[in-house]
């Protein structure tokens, strides 16, 4: 499926399937408007190879499949070209009919086409966990979407964290951007963001190395703008200009009561000075004042990220939806496909 040449019948099928799955998995959250979803899918992804397929019958989509790998020549290709990320969904009324299993030969074909040797898949629902365990994929990273209800926040504690930040780090400069950071700083911001992202815990996941350039930032920010996401960034700099910590969030008019906490990170050598608390508290206070309609902050965390979970738990974040990242080798997948092909003869 090519989103830029898809006809109206495809979009009708796709949106019907998307709304059906959203009602099943996130019934309490607003769904992304159809027109924004189409714009997002049509936007150029110059650094990624994206495959999209559907299985449909009688004008109804039964299953949707997407897969991503890094494009040759893209930043980080050498460190990440072995990775292949895939996701398949099957409609509630069409499960346990072999539809999910039917994607496996395609996954193997695509991995071989791009020279990928590791398959990565995520699961939140019981059916997904059961399928990946049946397939032989191994759990590699455990995490959760955690949510904070603003009505339960101890705002006095939040203010104390804000006040304590400059006291504990008197030579550290705070920077606040109520939009994307200016383009003039992208060249120095991109590698420092990558350095922070590479400090995240990945448990046993084969994850390569995060590499980010100014060109990638431009493409990411263009996608955020297409989705009408309003970006907010808070960061701290040490006297030598090093970014010691950052946190960023996104708010969108189509989900006015939920803010997405995207990333928070503090350089290991600057931890223990309250920088994480400082920037998280300042961002939370600014969001609360700027968007009084916001009821929830949503964020994703690895269960092994103890320092960040400690801050989040003190603020009042609680687990909302758990998930596991699975991986298996290309050769393991090939063996499974051969076994299944033999059984079908």
State the Cα–Cα distance between residues 219 and 224, nearest whole angstrom: 9
The pLDDT value given to residue 343: 64
The partner residues of 296 in beta bridges, in order of sequence, read 149, 258
- Cα 296 to Cα 22, 23, 26, 145, 153: the distances in Å are 18, 19, 14, 12, 11
The pLDDT value given to residue 345: 37
pTM of the model: 0.94
The pLDDT value given to residue 65: 98
Element (H, E) at 67: strand 60-70
- Cα 108 to Cα 84, 208, 270, 326: the distances in Å are 10, 20, 44, 16
| Number of neighbours of residue 179 by Cβ within 10 angstroms | 11
- DSSP, collapsed to helix, strand or coil, labels residue 161 as helix
Element (H, E) at 61: strand 60-70
- Hey, what domains does the chain have and what are their CATH numbers? 8-144+325-344 (3.40.630.30), 154-315 (3.40.630.30)
State the Cα–Cα distance between residues 333 and 345, nearest whole angstrom: 19
In the chain (345 residues long), the average pLDDT of successive 10-residue segments reads 97 98 96 98 97 97 98 96 98 94 97 98 96 97 98 98 97 97 97 96 94 97 97 98 97 98 96 96 98 97 94 97 98 95 63
Burial class of residue 232 in the structure, from the number of CB atoms within 10 Å of its CB (0-12 exposed, 13-18 middle, 19+ buried): buried
The pLDDT value given to residue 161: 98
The pLDDT value given to residue 341: 85
């Amino acid at each position: 499926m090519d989103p830029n040449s898809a006809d109206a019948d495809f979009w009708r099928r796709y949106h019907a399937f998307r709304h059906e799955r959203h009602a099943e998995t996130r019934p309490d959250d607003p769904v992304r408007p159809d027109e924004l979803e189409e714009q997002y899918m049509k936007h150029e992804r110059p650094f990624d190879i994206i495959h999209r397929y559907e299985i449909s019958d009688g004008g109804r989509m039964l299953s949707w499949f997407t897969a991503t790998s890094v494009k040759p020549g893209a930043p980080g290709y050498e460190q990440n070209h072995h990775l292949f990320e895939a996701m398949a969904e099957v409609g509630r009324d069409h499960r346990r009919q072999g539809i999910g299993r039917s994607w496996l030969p395609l996954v193997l074909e695509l991995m071989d086409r791009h020279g990928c040797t590791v398959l990565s898949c995520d699961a939140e629902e019981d059916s997904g966990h059961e399928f990946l365990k049946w397939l032989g994929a191994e759990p590699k990273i455990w995490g959760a979407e955690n949510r904070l209800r603003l009505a339960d926040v101890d705002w006095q504690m939040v203010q104390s964290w804000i006040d304590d930040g400059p006291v504990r780090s008197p030579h550290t400069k705070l920077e606040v951007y109520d939009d994307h950071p200016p383009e003039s700083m992208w060249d120095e911001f991109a590698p420092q963001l990558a350095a922070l992202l590479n400090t995240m815990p990945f448990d046993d996941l084969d994850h390569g190395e995060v590499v980010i350039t100014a060109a990638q930032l431009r493409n990411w920010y263009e996608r955020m703008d297409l989705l009408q996401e309003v970006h907010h960034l808070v960061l701290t700099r040490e006297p030598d200009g090093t970014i010691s910590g950052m946190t960023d969030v996104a708010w969108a008019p189509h989900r006015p009561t939920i803010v997405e906490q995207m990333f928070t990170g503090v350089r290991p050598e600057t931890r223990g000075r309250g920088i994480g608390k400082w920037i998280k508290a300042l961002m939370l206070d600014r969001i609360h004042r700027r968007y009084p309609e916001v009821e929830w902050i949503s964020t994703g965390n690895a269960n092994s990220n103890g320092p960040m979970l400690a801050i989040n738990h003190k603020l009042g974040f609680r687990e909302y939806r758990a998930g596991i990242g699975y991986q298996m080798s290309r050769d393991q997948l090939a063996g499974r496909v051969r076994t299944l092909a033999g059984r079908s003869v």
